[in-house]
Structure 1
Amino acid sequence: MRQLPEADRDAIRLAQDPKFARWLEQITATGGCAHPIHLSGSTMTLDGATGEILHHYDTRNEPGERLLVRCRNRRATVCPACSRLHAGDTYHLVRAGLLGGKNIPATVRHRPRLFVTLTAPSFGPVHRSGELCRPRRDSGTCEHGRPLGCGAVHAPDAPAVGQPLCVDCYDYTAHVLWHAHASQLWDRFVIDVRRRLASAVGLVQSHFAKHARLSFARVAEHQKRAAVHVHAVVRLDGPNGPDEEPPYWATPDLLIDAVCASARRVLVRTPYSAAVGELALRWGAQVDARPLRTDGDGPDDDAVAAYVAKYVTKGASETGAGLDHALSAWGDIESAPVSGHVRTLIRTCWRLGGLPEYAPLRLRDWAHTLGYRGHILTKSRAYSTTYAALRAERAHHLGHVDVPDTVTERHWRYVGSGHTPGAALIAAGIADDLAQLREVIREERSAARGEADR
């Protein structure tokens, strides 16, 4: 008789447990999280005036004497269920800054707003998808004897796309150091945009904050060549943020000019190294700044918010531009499931990370992301709401909120994480069911809006 797979046997064991129904409630409450956190402890809510116990909860009555909570990992490759929740939060965060809502006035939709894309510079020619990869009239070769061109037509998912034409010509050192300084380059870019706006209208640069505020939300995306580029929503407000109208001189064209000029001008210099020298790092030549208009002439606001949310949930391994976990030793690099191009970038991170002048960059700690150590999504304080506020709002709707004039005592400790094989199987099924339910609800709402517009 054929034996059942381990996951099936474990699922049957769980289903026969007397507390299975309660365990299933916990799994459903986490949305089918793939790697839930296991907590043990208790919480007690007391009346602030009398000390009377209003509510008491203890995990001793739970299956396995533990409570399961979401891992909240944003990467779809790690936890599809939590990544969908994170993508939804990101969508509402970005959309609120475009159209209002979540305590942001609807008037922001009439402000000067741009959708900006900044790219990494070239570190060497790579294979591209399209009609012809890199056509050349001659059949020249580089100093290492490799062809300078490629006449093939690569499919977008072809393994060659994003790989260097010559690995010896490719500047892996500059690539890694650019990643390590990308966040600093963005900070200088934002400062320079403010300065250029002030100069364009005759203001003293230090007085810009008294007249206007530059608000933004930006997301980092890994390209096929394993280099990060940035998508950002940029908005001009009054000096007090979204609650105040910008000055009369604030126009989309003025903002576009400032963004494009700053992208060409700003640079960051690396620390001097006897092995590398000093590099001047800049944005790439390709800069795109498109105005977002309420008349429909330009990118759609909802589409922009959805576009940003999509990239927030992508892990490095999903894009083929790194790993989703840190490396602890040089030997881990050889066994990593990555392309040769990415492996060389990781090796470069590890080697440069051993130089004392680059110690502050923590290149070995961030070798799995090819030296990039910035957050996937960052925003200015006044752009819109926060992830914390969105989670608090969701908890309030679910009834998970403390009652005023009460005192809550909590005692929790971490006791584990993850699922057994059978539990993982059940959790994945619940996550899929919830995803299908959300899709049905989304389609019904879209159909209802379509009927209302007729």
Structure 2
Amino acid sequence: MTNPHDRALPRAVRLTMPLAQDVVEEVAKQHGVCIRPVALKRLDTHTGQWEIVDVPCGSPMEAKCPPCAKRNRHLRMAQCREGWHLDEEPTITPDEPNDEQRWLVEFRADIQAQRDDADKAGADTAELDALIEGLDEEINNAGMRGNVLGRTAPKRTRSTKRRQDAPDLPKRTMTNTTLGRTFQAPDGKTYRPSLFVTLTLPSYGKVRDGVPVDPETYDYQRAARDALHFSKLIDRFVQNLRRVAGYDVQYFATVEPQKRLAPHLHMAIRGTLPRAEIKQIAAATYHQVWWPQADKVVFDGERLPVWEQGAGYLDPDTGEVLPTWDEALDQLDADEDAEPLHVIRFGDQVDVKGVLSGTPDADQCIRYLSKYLTKSLGQSLDGGQAQQQHAARFVDALRYEPCSPTCANWLRYGIQPKGAKAGMMPGRCRSKAHKPEHLGYAGRRVLVSRKWSNKTLAEHKQDRRTWVLEALGQTDQPTDPHRYVWRPVPAGDANVPPLSVRLLRSVRERQRWLAHMAELQARAEGQDLSATEGRAA
């Protein structure tokens, strides 16, 4: 509703006035309140009462919700800090399976048996396959890792012989530890140093201020393929690192974009190795992409493969069925002279820094690791015109590059994608790797090894919750998991107040918490002061 007072003001004056909703959002941001809360209906089974509860959106991106992004960043900083310089072995004991998990696994086994029987009888198994796929997703969502039946298809194996153009690496005998070496100083003090490592990709052409000097000679295709497979290169580096180190190296790493738009890696490593060895490992690390060739365009423009139900995609001219993904890989395996589609390596620029626990350097590295976590990889697109043109060329190079075996772009090169279905079209893959804000990198932005801090991210969140409750003078009582029933709120539900009202309520609640915490802190400081004066008297 428009304020009558506003209508009395001149139009030019009204246009300069901020919107009330924007002011409410700014106030919410200042108080750390989520500005995109998700409204849910909660039924208290003890009282039978329904209520509307606002749940924070939890977005890690500052562009969507700065307060939630800030909380996520501080949570990651705490996770990094707690695990970097552990001096005791972490102990990870898997939880006992609950009733729901047992039931899901038993039901999954029963459906699998039905599917096997139907397959032997020659019956259609499509419906059972769909049910199994849904059950596998439920099993993962229920808090279980891995596949119930293990690997259901044979793994394709290739020669493990190292490339002739890659240097060999030393290999130490593995020891059952995650802790690095300690060093004794002349004064008897023991030090346990760790490492902060930065790895980058090679050059694709000369750049100045993050922009190619000559865009025509800049290798955009190689840059695009490196970005698409960067996560695999990181995996190889960790494997090589552990082989050379001789122990179960733990790490906390983040992936960020350079100004030239190439992803690079910052990694906190528990323990230390000689700098020369780290650089040797980076130089010897590579990843080969054994996919069918994607350099020769077969179908383009209006001449695209045609979908036929039950057969798959057909050549529009001859009507022949295109090779499936597995058939294309079989053909690749049979070719003794075949070369990988792409080989990705790190660049020569490797930065290695020793860090000691509790030093300003450690705090600075942790802040640096989390510096860009609240920003998308593509936020570097907001530069000047030359930077935007560079980004447009890079995104254009990504458009038709296959990002995975299921990518629709394989049709462009005469191959049916894995799991092909109707409606697929080259250049319109929905994977996040092809979205401008991801710049080809579809992996996780934060990479944390399993034994890093001896806690899951959920446990770190619980630590933070416990600290807040203790600061408020409350105890964290366990909640009966069966007490509440949660339901989504339908769009347009009249029981949900306007967003501005909900935000102001949350702001008021936050103010009440802060006032209570300040009161408790002042009271505690007063008690400490009284005790000190009493001892002095």
Partner amino acid for 2:397?
A: T
Paired residue secondary structure (2:401):
helix
* 1:2-43 C-alpha deviation (Å, 9 max, x unpaired): 27579746689x9xxxxxxxxxx9x79993212221212324
In 1, distance between residues paired with 2:62 and 2:250? 28
Cα contact 2:199–2:265 (8 A) shared by 1: yes
- The answer for unaligned runs of 5 or more in structure 2 is 1-7, 92-178, 183-190, 297-339, 403-407, 419-426, 519-537
In 2, distance between residues paired with 1:56 and 1:84? 36
Cα contact 2:204–2:222 (8 A) shared by 1: yes
Shift in Å at residue 380 of structure 1? 0.3
Paired residue secondary structure (1:39):
strand
TM-score, normalised to structure 2, is 0.53
Q: Residues 411, 125 of structure 1: CA spacing in aligned structure 2 closer, same or farther, 3 A cutoff?
A: same
The 5 Å alignment of 1:15-414 reads: 31-44=32-45, 53=46, 58-59=50-51, 66-100=52-86, 110-127=191-208, 161-198=209-246, 212-236=247-271, 252-254=272-274, 256-270=275-289, 271-275=291-295, 278-294=341-357, 300-320=361-381, 339-353=388-402, 354-356=408-410, 364-368=431-435, 369-384=438-453, 385-396=455-466, 397-398=468-469, 403=478, 407-414=482-489
Paired residue secondary structure (2:212):
coil
Shift in Å at residue 433 of structure 1? 9.2
Cα contact 1:32–1:429 (8 A) shared by 2: yes
In 2, distance between residues paired with 1:91 and 1:406? 30
Q: Residues 118, 57 of structure 1: CA spacing in aligned structure 2 closer, same or farther, 3 A cutoff?
A: farther
Paired residue secondary structure (2:370):
helix
In 2, distance between residues paired with 1:179 and 1:282? 11
In 2, distance between residues paired with 1:337 and 1:41? 51
Partner amino acid for 1:35?
A: R
- The answer for unaligned runs of 5 or more in structure 1 is 15-24, 45-52, 60-65, 128-160, 199-211, 237-251, 323-335, 441-454
Paired residue secondary structure (1:224):
coil
Of 176-185 and 388-397, more deviation after overlay is shown by 388-397
Q: Residues 376, 11 of structure 1: CA spacing in aligned structure 2 closer, same or farther, 3 A cutoff?
A: closer
Cα contact 1:38–1:416 (8 A) shared by 2: no
In 2, distance between residues paired with 1:428 and 1:41? 17
Cα contact 1:220–1:228 (8 A) shared by 2: yes
TM-score, normalised to structure 1, is 0.61
Higher RCO (CA < 8 A, seq sep 6+): 1
* 1:212-262 C-alpha deviation (Å, 9 max, x unpaired): 3210000011111111110000114xxxxxxxxxxxxxxx344x3432211
Cα contact 2:433–2:439 (8 A) shared by 1: yes
Paired residue secondary structure (2:487):
strand
| Greater radius of gyration (CA) | 2
Aligned residues: 334
Give the share of equivalent positions with the same residue, in percent.
23
Shift in Å at residue 93 of structure 1? 0.5
* 1:371-404 C-alpha deviation (Å, 9 max, x unpaired): 1011111110011133211222233444696637
In 2, distance between residues paired with 1:260 and 1:181? 21
Cα contact 1:350–1:363 (8 A) shared by 2: no
Cα contact 2:241–2:281 (8 A) shared by 1: yes
Aligned-residue Cα RMSD (Å) equals: 4.6
Q: Residues 262, 395 of structure 1: CA spacing in aligned structure 2 closer, same or farther, 3 A cutoff?
A: same
Cα contact 1:31–1:430 (8 A) shared by 2: no
Cα contact 2:42–2:484 (8 A) shared by 1: no
Paired residue secondary structure (1:86):
helix
Partner amino acid for 1:174?
A: R
In 1, distance between residues paired with 2:441 and 2:367? 24
Paired residue secondary structure (1:304):
helix
* 1:272-320 C-alpha deviation (Å, 9 max, x unpaired): 4241782211011101111113595xx7112211211222112234333
Paired residue secondary structure (2:459):
helix
Partner amino acid for 1:31?
A: G
In 2, distance between residues paired with 1:80 and 1:72? 10
In 2, distance between residues paired with 1:419 and 1:265? 59
